[in-house]
Amino acid sequence: MKMMLGISGGVDSSVAALLLQQAGHDVEGLFMQNWEEDERSGPCTTDADRKDAVAVCGRLGIPIHVRNFAAEYWDGVFQHFLAEYRAGRTPNPDVLCNREIKFKTFLDEARALGAEKIATGHYAQVDCQDGNFRLLRAVDAAKDQSYFLHALGQRQLAATLFPLGGIEKPRVRELARDAALPTHAKKDSTGICFIGERDFRSFLAQYIPARPGEMRTPDGTLIGEHQGVMYYTLGQRNGLGIGGRHGASGEAWYVVGKDVAANVLYIAQGGENRWLYSRRLQTEAPTWIADMAPAVEFRCTARTRYRQSDQACLVSVQDGSLDVRFDEPQRAVTPGQSVVLYAGEVCLGGAVIAATDAPYGGLLPAFAPFPTPAAREMSSRV
């Protein structure tokens, strides 16, 4: 079977190529350039990564193709990224990149080159049960990337292999060393390529100019000035530029809300303050791995950010959205990010968060106070 591997020039996709070759597949590599470097975007590692990808394919003796998908990335991912920030939300471009580029544009190009299936170096697993393809968590829980793959459907999973899903990262490094792959000691990439090592706010300001405004507490007290509400995210502590204030506690300040229309950033003290907590969220249109919801209403676990532990919840499928109610209060649930649903090891799908019932979450009915974890613990001692 001819297999087209998305090879990035990192150790993960390098070992994925090795494993596919060892399994007897007719494997070829395809390097995707998804960003055009220029003075505004600053340094990106595309050129070095391409050279590493070519070196790995040379070492393994497999053909490599190079394709520039920068135009598709700009239209399908980056424009949405900017629109979300302009709206005061915090998007997750990795989710959209997987759906629009790696498992759409790349898949179509791979088939045009004669491949029957594609593979990537993602840490996840796919199986087929009763004719239905399922997305499963990776064996290495610390590296599992199913969160970022939740927007895939049956068409994509039927054509995809994840060679690293069943092994742990230390073993990946070991296999790379044993095979003398030139990427065996290469540092894992982090963050978003089009930002690189530069300061995020400086990058965003190249596309969305600063618009200074007021920083206020929830009771309306003026605290300082921000540079633009789009530069901040809920729960953010660093970068607020607030020193000690007379009459205030010594606790750190956190972003708890954004009023984009009025250009006001709301902040409050304490990492466990009630303004950061919600128990309910609503979403935009969901995507389902099985191409349909498991039920109109069901219980499962969910994550509202990548590194979060699973949270028990009740999900109601509504017209074009989801209503998710958590058993326990959730901290800094952020519109624009994704809520991803799980049934044990199986990823069910997910959706972009539209609003929550936090004080500034935008969800009706209005916020009803409930105790934070710290407050509950204190009350249990009384």
pLDDT of residue 42: 53
Of residues 44, 57, 193, 347, which has the active-site annotation? 193
User: Is residue 239 over pLDDT 80?
Assistant: yes
pLDDT of residue 36: 83
- Is 2-178's fold the same as 210-271's? no
Read off φ and ψ for residue 180, nearest 5 degrees.
55, 40
Of residues 97, 300, 313, 347, which has the active-site annotation? 97
User: Is residue 175 over pLDDT 80?
Assistant: yes
- For 2-178, CATH number out of 3.90.1150.10, 3.30.413.10, 3.40.50.620, 3.40.109.10 equals 3.40.50.620
Q: Are 90 and 234 in contact (CB under 8 A)?
A: yes
Quick check: is 97 catalytic? yes
pLDDT of residue 364: 47
Instruction: Give the pLDDT band (50/70/90) at residue 189.
Output: confident
pTM of the model: 0.91
Residue 74: Cβ within 10 Å count? 16
Enumerate the domain spans of the chain: 2-178, 210-271, 275-375
pLDDT tens profile 27-56: 999 999 998 876 555 556 788 999 999 999
User: Is residue 376 over pLDDT 70?
Assistant: no
pLDDT tens profile 345-368: 999 999 999 999 999 887 744 434
pLDDT of residue 63: 98
Quick check: is 193 catalytic? yes
User: Is residue 116 over pLDDT 70?
Assistant: yes
Cis-peptide, bond into residue 182, ω within 30° of zero: no
Q: Are 280 and 356 in contact (CB under 8 A)?
A: yes
pLDDT tens profile 159-174: 999 999 999 999 999 9
The CATH number of the domain covering residues in 275-375: 2.40.30.10
Percent of the chain scoring above 70 in pLDDT: 88
Amino acid identity of 364? L
Which of 44-48, 141-145, 327-331 bottoms out in mean pLDDT, i.e. has the lowest? 44-48
pLDDT, the chain, mean: 91
Rounded to whole angstroms, how far apart are CA atoms 105 and 92? 19
CATH architecture of 210-271: Roll (2.30)
pLDDT tens profile 6-35: 999 999 999 999 999 999 999 999 999 998
